[in-house]
């Protein structure tokens, strides 16, 4: 038995993954290896490097196949990274700590970009009608019980500034948990970048050309977004993007559900271990790609729109609960099922749907607001 299979079985025995997830990973190992795309490489490489200590990494043996290294990293990530991030807060609870608060603010400012980098803690972003910037920080400083020392550590390891056209905020100490609420002027921003290690993002009513949000451990929730492009990634946590109007949205989670709802031209949603729900509310939508390993894929589409699509599943089925759907081709083999379908209406708009899942099912249904609300409640 090779090392990859041993690690998967160890993960199953330790309860890190379920039996269904173990089957999916074992099936993936049996398939012909494919060279991962550059984006997939960078996503796996980056988060594996976050959770692995350099001294703990064994020297890799040379191999003629780059794809085997990628599979090793995915298995190692599932085995080590998820265990670390699940126990991250528990480790801190064993340490002495002190709670401190501080407010950063600056009146009458003008900037077009926001750059936030928080090592440990949650971030909220709320546009408001005021002309000033206000950042309310509630911090828990570990390894000390002295409030003055805690405040000093907070100021020494935190930064807040407005330089040129950019607002910068960062906290870099892992021995300090900072929950920060940002109140920023209502404005059409050029770029908002949020990077989190242990903590989630909650934002509402953002207007920005380019949104980038990345978390290692935490949910990402954005309710109300007008953007040209949004790129949202988390390794452990759900992604919920609602009331979105955008040209291009990419949402990717390794361990968590992905929900995207709005009027979006191009949508790309992926999850290794989680369901994917794409709800399209307008006629702008042109293309939706949804891919998951252990979850299902649900499409909720406008009632009157032309559709051309394709879906694949190893173990699941297909539910076409939409009037006027024509099945062009269907294959129902034991371990590989696929279907090609279309729908013609009087609308000049056409939607292209592509879904792929290993163990889950694929659903296509008419969009209704109650569908989104029920899916949000299950996140």
Q: Over the stretch 215-267, which tens digit does the pLDDT of each residue have?
A: 999 999 999 999 999 999 999 999 999 999 999 999 999 999 999 999 999 99
pLDDT at 324 over 90: no
Mean pLDDT of the chain: 83
pLDDT at 108: 84
pLDDT at 72 over 70: no
pLDDT at 180: 97
- Of 76 and 231, the structure prediction assigns the larger pLDDT to 231
Band the pLDDT of 56: cuts 50, 70, 90: very low
Parse the chain into domains and list their residue ranges. Answer: 3-48+68-86, 95-199, 219-379
| 308, β-bridge pairs | 342, 352
Band the pLDDT of 174: cuts 50, 70, 90: confident
Q: Which of 65-69, 180-184, 320-324 is most confident?
A: 180-184
Band the pLDDT of 65: cuts 50, 70, 90: very low
Q: What percent of the chain has pLDDT over 70?
A: 73
Query: What's the rounded mean pLDDT across residues 120-142?
Result: 95
pLDDT at 59: 45
- Of 173 and 86, the structure prediction assigns the larger pLDDT to 173
Q: What is the pTM of this model?
A: 0.77
pLDDT at 113: 97
pLDDT at 36: 47
pLDDT at 9: 67
pLDDT at 318: 93
- Residue showing tokens 């013609």: 344
pLDDT at 362 over 60: yes
pLDDT at 377: 57
Contacts of 74 (CB under 8 A, 6+ apart): 44, 272
Band the pLDDT of 96: cuts 50, 70, 90: confident
Tokens of 202: 């909650």
pLDDT at 304: 84
pLDDT at 346 over 90: no
- Of 318 and 52, the structure prediction assigns the larger pLDDT to 318
CATH architecture, range 95-199: 3 Solenoid (2.160)
Query: What's the rounded mean pLDDT across residues 204-225?
Result: 97
- The tally of CA atoms less than 13 A away on the side-chain side of residue 267 is 33
Q: Is 5 helix (H, G, I), strand (E, B) or coil?
A: helix
pLDDT at 345: 82
- Of 355 and 69, the structure prediction assigns the larger pLDDT to 355
Find the range with the poorest average confidence among 75-79, 103-107, 255-259, 293-297: 75-79
Query: What's the rounded mean pLDDT across residues 305-327?
Result: 91
Query: What's the rounded mean pLDDT across residues 346-350?
Result: 80
Band the pLDDT of 173: cuts 50, 70, 90: confident
């Amino acid at each position: 038995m090779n090392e990859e299979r041993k690690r998967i079985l160890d993960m199953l025995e330790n309860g890190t993954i379920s039996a269904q997830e173990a089957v999916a990973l074992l099936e993936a190992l049996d398939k012909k290896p494919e060279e991962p795309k550059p984006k997939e490489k960078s996503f796996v490489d980056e988060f594996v490097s976050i959770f692995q200590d350099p001294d703990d990494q064994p020297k890799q043996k040379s191999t003629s196949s780059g794809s085997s290294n990628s599979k090793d990293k995915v298995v190692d990530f599932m085995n080590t990274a998820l265990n670390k991030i699940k126990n991250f807060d528990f480790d801190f609870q064993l340490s002495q700590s002190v709670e401190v608060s501080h407010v950063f603010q600056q009146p009458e400012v003008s900037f077009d970009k926001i750059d936030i980098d928080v090592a440990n803690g949650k971030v909220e972003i709320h546009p408001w009608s005021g002309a000033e910037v206000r950042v309310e920080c509630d911090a828990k400083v570990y390894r000390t019980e002295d409030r003055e020392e805690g405040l000093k550590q907070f100021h020494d390891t935190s930064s807040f500034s407005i330089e040129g056209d950019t607002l910068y905020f960062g906290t870099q100490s892992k021995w300090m948990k900072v929950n920060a609420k940002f109140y920023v002027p209502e404005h059409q921003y050029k770029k908002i970048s949020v990077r989190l290690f242990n903590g989630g993002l909650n934002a509402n009513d953002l207007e920005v050309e380019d949104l980038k949000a990345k978390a290692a451990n935490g949910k990402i929730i954005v309710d109300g977004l007008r953007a040209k492009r949004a790129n949202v990634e988390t390794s452990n946590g759900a992604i919920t993007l609602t009331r979105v109007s955008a040209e291009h949205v990419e949402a990717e989670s390794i361990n968590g559900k992905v929900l995207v709802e709005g009027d979006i031209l191009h949508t790309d949603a992926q999850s290794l271990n989680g369901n994917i729900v794409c709800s399209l509310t307008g006629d702008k939508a042109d293309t939706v790609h949804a891919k998951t390993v252990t979850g299902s894929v649900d499409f909720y589409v406008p009632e009157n729109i032309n559709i051309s699509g394709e879906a694949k599943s190893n173990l699941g089925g297909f539910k076409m609960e939409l009037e006027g759907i024509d099945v062009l081709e269907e294959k129902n083999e034991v371990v590989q099922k696929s279907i090609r379908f279309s729908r013609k209406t009087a609308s000049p708009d056409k939607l292209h749907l592509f879904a792929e899942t290993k163990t889950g099912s694929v659903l296509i249904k008419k969009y209704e607001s109650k569908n989104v609300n029920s899916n949000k409640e299950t996140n």
